[in-house]
Amino acid sequence: MSPAERAVEHVTCLGCGCACDDITLVVKQDRVAAARNACTLGVAWFGDGSASHEVRVDGRSTSLEQALARAAEILRAAKRPLVYLAADISCEAQREAVAIGDHLGAMLDTLTSAAAASVLAAQRRGRAGATLGELRQRADVIVFWGVDPATRYPRFASRYAVEPRGLQAPDGRRSRRVVAVDVGSSRAVADADARVAVAAADELDALGVLRAIAQGRVASEDARFHPIAELARAMMQARYVALVADGEPAGPPDDLAPDRAEALVTLAQALNGPTRCALATLRGGGNRSGADAVITWQTGFPFAVDFAPGYPTYRPHAGAAALLDAGEVDAALVIGSPASVPAPVVNRLTRLPAVGIGPRASAALFQPAVAVDTGVAGIHESGTAFRMDDVPLPLRAALTGPPSTTASALHALRQQLGA
Ligand code: SF4
């Protein structure tokens, strides 16, 4: 490392829900020169660490005070405001956002709303889960259900569930049996000890048969269900099964998602009869699990919380997208990276007076009337974020960002609003 460079260790990457906290950033002239240990996705997430510093009202640069005063005007005038939490903000900022939503009597929603099936299934049925650390230490059979983490959760296998040595997996990968279940065109991991192919149309039936066998309602020798019965046997003979599924699959909305999520939850529960099993649901990055946690501890619900009645009300099937579609929302406060906001929400926001506070808010496609650029949590801002398994991790501010952090800008807005 040259004298002009410095290393910042133990940085947490929020490029995906793995939230790897072993990243070393090499910083040169306040730019990221290298992100050691990060995967390709993580390197892209850190980028060169540059941040835009704009504060604008109606496209013109202004002071933070004037921007927040205008933001408060817009939000105060709204009859049905929306507060929307996007990616790349800390739990500290999320907490300020909840307070603003409460004060405004707003609809409060997050990225989770667009991929809520696994959260709703867990709420309906409970969930046999575990930290990624427990899977690393104990899992000896790992079943990837229609997901290959290599693309969207690249270090999941090397850090948590397949390769690392653990207390009950002393030889790492060699101590574990990996089963890939390919569902329709969704291929599971390439490096598997066994593969099972399930037609997309048969997926729910296959999960139902697995559950019935685990509960002893169907004999595992039943030839009608071979090779599902064989998979069931492998799981039931394991000491500890990790059942890995994607909580936020890419692609268009999937009608089967709620039933699939519930079938996976109940299969993991059933397997805790003959053996031990934890369901690991893969989640995206940007601290979206943190938003679920913060909103739950503040309101009792993880997302889609409506403060309009004067108290928090859960509307999981009528979140931001549905309200925007119905034309109910008349102003919006969008907090976080606008690039992470789903396209249907962006399209509706373009027709509303909006306030954007977050990393590169001034570049938002929905062109907010007020834009306050802040830093990216984990690059320019410190604080707390949650990994996909709900383990909180510290964030380090490795680079200098815009003068106002997301949390401090929101706090100042909250004061403007008189909250
Ligand atoms: S696996 Fe995810 S959290 Fe880890 S370095 Fe890659 S993108 Fe970042």
Beta strand pairing status for 392-395 and 383-386?
Answer: antiparallel
Could you tell me the residue range of the domain that residue 42 belongs to? 5-46
Same domain, 255 and 319: no
Domain final position from 282, 315, 350: 282
Mean pLDDT on 211-227: 83
Domain final position from 247, 282, 317: 282
Same domain, 102 and 141: no
Same domain, 172 and 203: yes
Q: What is the pLDDT confidence band of residue 154, given thresholds at 50, 70 and 90?
A: very high
Q: Are 214 and 270 in contact (CB under 8 A)?
A: yes
The pLDDT tens digits of the residues spanning 291-315 come to: 999 999 999 999 999 999 999 999 9
Alpha-carbon torsion (395, 400, 402, 404), positive or negative: positive
Whichever domain contains 97, its CATH number is 3.40.50.740
Does position 224 have pLDDT exceeding 80, yes or no? no
Residue 192 covered by a domain? yes
Q: How many domains does the chain have?
A: 3
Q: Are 192 and 178 in contact (CB under 8 A)?
A: yes
Cα 58 to ligand 1 centroid, rounded to whole Å: 36
Percent of the chain with pLDDT over 90: 92
Residue 249 covered by a domain? yes
Q: Is the CB of 402 under 6 A from ligand 1?
A: no
Q: Is the CB of 18 under 6 A from ligand 1?
A: yes
Q: Is the CB of 218 under 6 A from ligand 1?
A: no
The pLDDT tens digits of the residues spanning 202-217 come to: 999 999 999 999 999 9
Q: Is the CB of 20 under 6 A from ligand 1?
A: yes
Same domain, 108 and 138: no
Q: What is the pLDDT confidence band of residue 82, given thresholds at 50, 70 and 90?
A: very high
Residue 289 covered by a domain? no
Residue 40 CA: nearest ligand 1 atom is: 6
Mean pLDDT of the chain: 95
Same domain, 127 and 242: yes
Does position 245 have pLDDT exceeding 90, yes or no? yes
Cα 12 to ligand 1 centroid, rounded to whole Å: 9
In one letter, which amino acid is 11? Answer: V
Does position 130 have pLDDT exceeding 70, yes or no? yes
Q: What is the pLDDT of residue 225?
A: 77
Q: Is the CB of 154 under 6 A from ligand 1?
A: yes
Mean pLDDT on 93-98: 98
Residue 293 covered by a domain? no
Residue 292 covered by a domain? no
Dihedral Cα 197, 202, 208, 212, nearest 10 deg: -60
In one letter, which amino acid is 192? Answer: A
Whichever domain contains 172, its CATH number is 3.40.228.10
Same domain, 140 and 243: yes
Residue 84 covered by a domain? yes
Residue 274 covered by a domain? yes
Q: Is the CB of 152 under 6 A from ligand 1?
A: no
Q: What is the pLDDT of residue 1?
A: 67
The pLDDT tens digits of the residues spanning 347-383 come to: 999 999 999 999 999 999 999 999 999 999 999 999 9
Q: Is the CB of 132 under 6 A from ligand 1?
A: no
Q: Is the CB of 13 under 6 A from ligand 1?
A: yes
Q: What is the pLDDT of residue 419?
A: 82
Same domain, 16 and 146: no
The pLDDT tens digits of the residues spanning 22-45 come to: 999 999 999 999 999 999 999 999
Residue 158 covered by a domain? yes
Q: Are 385 and 287 in contact (CB under 8 A)?
A: yes
Report angle CA 399, 336, 416 to the nearest 5 degrees.
Answer: 100
Nearest CA owner, ligand 1 atom 2: 16
Cα 36 to ligand 1 centroid, rounded to whole Å: 11
- Tokens standing for residue 172: 């790492």
Q: Are 395 and 383 in contact (CB under 8 A)?
A: yes
Residue 37 CA: nearest ligand 1 atom is: 5
What are the CA-CA distances from residue 32 to residues 14, 25, 29, 100, 375 (Å)? 15, 6, 8, 34, 14
